[in-house]
Structures are given as structure tokens and as C-alpha cells.
Amino acid sequence: MRPLSPRRGPQLKLELAGPCVILRAVKLVLHWFRRDLRVTDNTALSEAARRGERVLPVFILEDALHTGPDVGAARLAFLLQSAEELRRDLARLGYPLIVHRGRSEIELPKLCAEMGATAVFCNQRYEPYAQARDARVFNALNAEGVGFEVFKDAVLWEEREILTQAGNPYTVFTPYAKAWRARAIPPPRPDLKAVGPPLNPAAGKAVPRDPADFGHPLSQTVPPAGAAAAHRALESFLAARVYGYATGRDFPAQAGTSRLSPHLRAGTIGIRTVLAGWLAARKQAGVDAAGRSGCDTYLNELIWREFYLQVLANFPHVMRGCFRPEYDALAWPGEEAHFTAWCEGRTGYPIVDAAMRCLNATGGMHNRLRMIVAMFLTKDLLISWQRGERYFMRQLVDGDLAANNGGWQWSAGTGTDAAPYFRIFNPVTQGEKFDPDGAFVRQWVPELATVAKDHIHAPWEAGLLSGARNYPPPIVNHAVQRERCLAMFKAVRAPG
Ligand SMILES: Cc1cc2nc3c(=O)[nH]c(=O)nc-3n(C[C@H](O)[C@H](O)[C@H](O)COP(=O)(O)OP(=O)(O)OC[C@H]3O[C@@H](n4cnc5c(N)ncnc54)[C@H](O)[C@@H]3O)c2cc1C
């Protein structure tokens, strides 16, 4: 195995802090909203309010938001609706949100010059492409003598804050999570205070809400967007479901999870707010072992989010290839027709098809199902995880480069502390275990609505696939494909 080298050299933030004009007392600060679409628990925004005499909130509809191969209508719709909600929240506090369309490195210096702003504040992004954009913004602002400050906000701990004793990034989750848990959880940042009487939100320029205006017509039903919906989702989860999360989170037909991922991605809720709620719930669980275990398992999932963000920031090569480079040599001999069947939910494996149809219709998919369909694409259909990764990004309302890439590489067995390549889910037994009475399959695969639960996950075995049912037989044989997959991985594995 070739050694893995983390990204070396100064991080963008340090580069920014170097030559940039950082003013201690600033008159007019422009707060640039990106993936932090909220007025509460927002680090850069609260700093802007603390240090500036006036704050000017700005949202830029970047070209990159609606161009490029990974853009999806569901995610764009969620973002636009959240930005419009933010505009209304700001108006209630007396702030008009300025909305521009174009490239940030052009729009921001222009705005600063027009308004007389001396600094731009924003919260850190961790994707390499976003950091490259921020470097361009920094250069453009710096050339005009305008300060640019970037704050840690989306995570508790950034990529160089939790390191092994040898000073390297963690590549295995369990010790990373242990080190993460050993640190104190900071409280939420101060909320933005009203600056004057409420503005009439109808008077300002609304954020366009329809992704079709950007060439992405929406065919999915996306969940409620915006900060109020995020807070409702958190409260309802912490009121009860968190205590049963350790087991409830694995059953797609039950609403056992928090459904916060689109909100954490768009920043309609702050991570410190989520964790403050979690701390209270954990306290509330008291001596109830099951309740405590639910809370602790939930925290673990939030740590996975930060784990994958630090993997992406430290090892940006994962964007282009396998975390373990020896697996870049995998040939992936799968067939195009099988990829189409997988995308459309017509593989003949009911749990896979139900999951894919649910994704196509709602932009969402339960975590257990993401693992099942990802393993099925890579290990049964022998199609590259990168094709699945891209398909997910186009469909998911919570599509996030770090979590999606981490989840796909974990499932394919090419990632950090991946499920080893020889761990291959059987889609029939996974269905039987996690959708035991077939409720989820029946909801999304109406062709099987009347099949009894004993056969719902393998209807072909009971001869239940008559032409009238219009449901395909399995497109591959799991046992055969499993062996092919093992041979494929063994062939490229470095000895030892
Ligand atoms: C192949 C694959 C692709 C995935 N793609 C994405 C993606 O694009 N965006 C995304 O946010 N998550 C992704 N995940 C992780 C996970 O499936 C979702 O975060 C989860 O299903 C969201 O539902 P929830 O908010 O109800 O989660 P909960 O179970 O309530 O978890 C709480 C939060 O923890 C975080 N989280 C949970 N599990 C993971 C995980 N495995 N990795 C990283 N963060 C996690 C999310 O922010 C989530 O909202 C992917 C997982 C797999 C296996």
C-alpha cells in the first residue's frame, strides 16, 4: 500500500490571516451568508455584530450554485427556500438582506466599495473548491484594502485541531471520536439582536425560490426548509426519538432519526445549538441505560460528520479517487444497463428499488438504505462508487461532498476505516432485518404491495413474479456477484 500523505502546507485560513487587512474595530462589516443561513448561533455573524458598528447581510447566488455536474434541484430548492426564510428573519430584526447574482470575487468588492464596508466576515467552508473561491475573494478584497475574516462555525473541531499524538490527522473513526468526546462542547453563539423596527419583508427583493429559474426544474417533494423548520425538527427529535435512537435509527419505515442533515448542510441550524439540545437530552436520560445509549449513539453520528469533513480537508485527493490509492486500479466491469436499473429502482431487489425510488421522489434516503444501495451498486453490480456518488449528489437534498464521499468510500471498501472490502451486504437479508414486515418496500414498490411479508424481500423465490405484477426478476445473482467482487478486489490489493 502506498503511504497516505495528508495535505501539507498552510491552510487557507492561515493564508488569509497573513497579509489580509484585519481590522480590530470596523465600521461597516459585510456578513457574507453561505452555508450558514440563520441568525442564531452563527459565529461570523455574531462577531460582525460585536465588532462592527453596522452589519450588512449579503447572500450571493453564485453561478456555481446552479452550474456544474453535481447540482441537484432538490438541494437547490432547499437552499433557495432557506435563503428566503433568512431574508424574512433578518427583516424582522431590521436588517435588509442584499441578494446579488454572479461571482463572489466580483460582487463582494463591488458591494464593499458602494456601501463603504471595510471588512467581509464569513464562516469557513471545507471543500477544496470553496476554499479556492475564498482565496480568490480574499485576493480581490485585499487589493481594495478590505479585510476578510473567516470563522470556524460548521464544526466544533477543524481538521488540524484533533490530531494523533504524532501530529497526524486521524484516519480511523473510533480513536478520532474518543479524542473528540474528550473535549468540552462550546455553547451556542449569541443570537443576532434587532437593529431597529422590523422591515416589511414584502418590500425587499425576495430570493427566487424556484430552482427551475436556474435551469433545474424540481420533481421531488423536499422537506420544509429554513431555520424554523430546523428548530422544529430538532425539538421533535429530542423530545422522544433520541432516547430510542440506538435501535430506532436502523429501520427505514420508522421515523427514528433526526432528519437534520439538510439543515446541517445549509446551516439553517448551528451545530452548537444541536449539541446544547443533545446535552440537555442526555441529562434528561438520567440513569435510563437505553435512553443514554440512544443519546450517545446520536452524538457518534454527529462526530462522523466532523470526521468526514476533516478527512476531506486533510486528504483532498478523496474528491478525485480512492482514499486508498491502490483501489484506483479497480476496473469496475459493471454494465451500463445495470446502472440505469439501479438509478430507476428496477433491479429486482425490493429493498434496493424501494430506496432508490424514495430517493428519486423525495431527495432523501435513510442511512441504512444508503449503505445497502451503495454496497449493491459497487459489490453486486460492480460499478464504480464514483458513479453512485455523483448520482446521489444530483438527487440528495442533503448532498454534501464530505459525508457523501465518506459514505460511498466506506461502502465500497476503498475509504478510511472502511468496512473491509470483503464485507458485502446481502440485500435480501438486509431487507428482512431492517424492514421486517416489508412496510417500506410496499410504500415505494406498489407492484409488491400485496406480497406477504415472508416473501417481500425475495418475491422470485416463491414464484411470485408473474407478468401481471410488472416487477422485474433480479438483474444479477447476489451469490455469483459476491465472488466476482471478492476476486476483483483481491486482484488489485497490495500484498501483505
Ligand atoms: C453512501 C452514503 C452517502 C451519504 N451521503 C450523505 C450526504 O450527502 N450528506 C449527509 O449529510 N450525509 C450523508 N450520508 C450519511 C447519512 O446517511 C445521513 O447523514 C443521514 O441519513 C441523514 O439523516 P438524519 O439527518 O436523519 O441523520 P441522523 O441519524 O439523525 O444523524 C444526525 C446527523 O449526523 C450526521 N450523520 C449521520 N450519519 C452520518 C454519516 N454516516 N456520515 C456523516 N454524517 C452523518 C448528519 O449530519 C445527520 O443529520 C451518507 C451515507 C452513506 C452510506
Domain borders along the chain are 12-153, 155-186+224-314, 325-489
Residue whose C-alpha cell reads 429554513 in the numeric block: 226
Answer yes or no: are the C-beta atoms of 189 and 41 closer than 8 Å.
yes
- Nearest atom in ligand 1 to 258's CA: 30
Give Cα separations from 399 to 71, 110, 359, 363 (angstroms): 9, 31, 11, 9
Q: What is the DSSP letter of 212?
A: G
What pLDDT is attached to residue 495? 60
List of E strands, 24-146: 26-33, 52-62, 98-102, 119-123
Distance from C-alpha of 405 to C-alpha of 256, rounded to nearest angstrom = 24
Q: How far is the CA of 426 from the centre of ligand 1 (A)?
A: 21
For cell 435588509, the residue is 96
- Out of 305, 385, 409, mutate this one to test ligand 1's pocket (max ligand atoms within 8 Å of CB): namely 305
Q: Which CATH architecture has domain 12-153?
A: 3-Layer(aba) Sandwich (3.40)
Cell readout for 373 is 444501495
CA dist 106 → 133, 205, 468 (Å): 11, 21, 60
Cα separation values, 476 from 42, 346, 353, 490, Å: 49, 12, 14, 21
Locate 263 and state its grid cell: 439543515
Pairwise pLDDT comparison (321 vs 9), residue with the higher score: 321
For the CA of 302, the closest atom of ligand 1 is 34
Q: What is the pLDDT of residue 375?
A: 97
CA pair distance 114, 264, nearest whole angstrom? 33
Q: Which residues line ligand 1 (CB under 6 A)?
A: 249, 257-261, 264-265, 301-302, 304-305, 308, 366-367, 370-371, 374, 392, 396, 398-400, 403-404, 406-408, 411
* Residues in a beta bridge with 123: 151
- Average pLDDT for 132-144: 97
Ligand 1, atom 5, residue with closest C-alpha: 404
Q: Which of 70, 156, 301 to mutate to test the pocket of ligand 1 (most atoms within 8 A of CB)?
A: 301
Taking phi first (over 0 means left), then psi (-120 to 50 degrees means alpha), and beta for anything else, what does residue 70 get? alpha
Say which of 180, 278, 304, 444 is annotated catalytic. 304
Unique residue bearing C-alpha cell 408473474: 466
Please state whether beta strands 98-102 and 119-123 pair in parallel, antiparallel, or not at all (unpaired).
unpaired
CA 402 to centroid of ligand 1, rounded, Å = 10
DSSP 8-state secondary structure symbol assigned to residue 377: I
Q: What is the pLDDT of residue 64?
A: 86
Distance from Cα 264 to the centre of ligand 1, integer Å: 10
What SS3 class is residue 169?
A: strand
* CATH code, residues 155-186+224-314: 1.25.40.80
Q: Would residue 367 show up in a list of annotated catalytic residues for this protein? A: yes
DSSP state of 324: S
Q: Which three cell numbers stand for residue 223?
A: 422537506
Structure confidence at residue 467 (pLDDT): 67
Cα–Cα distance list, 173 to 21, 156, 301, 315, 415 (Å): 38, 16, 11, 15, 11
Range 325-489: architecture per CATH: Orthogonal Bundle (1.10)
Q: Is 342 a catalytic residue?
A: no
SS3 393: helix
pTM across the whole model: 0.94
Set of cell numbers at residue 422: 470483503
The reported pLDDT for the residue numbered 19 is 37
Q: What pLDDT does 481 receive?
A: 98
Q: Is residue 332 annotated as a catalytic residue, yes or no?
A: yes
Whether the pLDDT of residue 123 is over 70: the answer is yes
Asked if 139 is an active-site residue, the reply is no
Report the C-alpha gap between 485 and 382 in whole angstroms: 7
Distance of CA 479 to the CA centre of its chain: 33
Q: Cβ contacts of residue 166 below 8 Å, gap of 6+?
A: none
pLDDT at position 4 = 40
What's phi and psi for 438, nearest 5 deg?
80, 15
pLDDT in tens, 69-107: 899 999 999 999 999 999 999 999 999 999 999 999 999
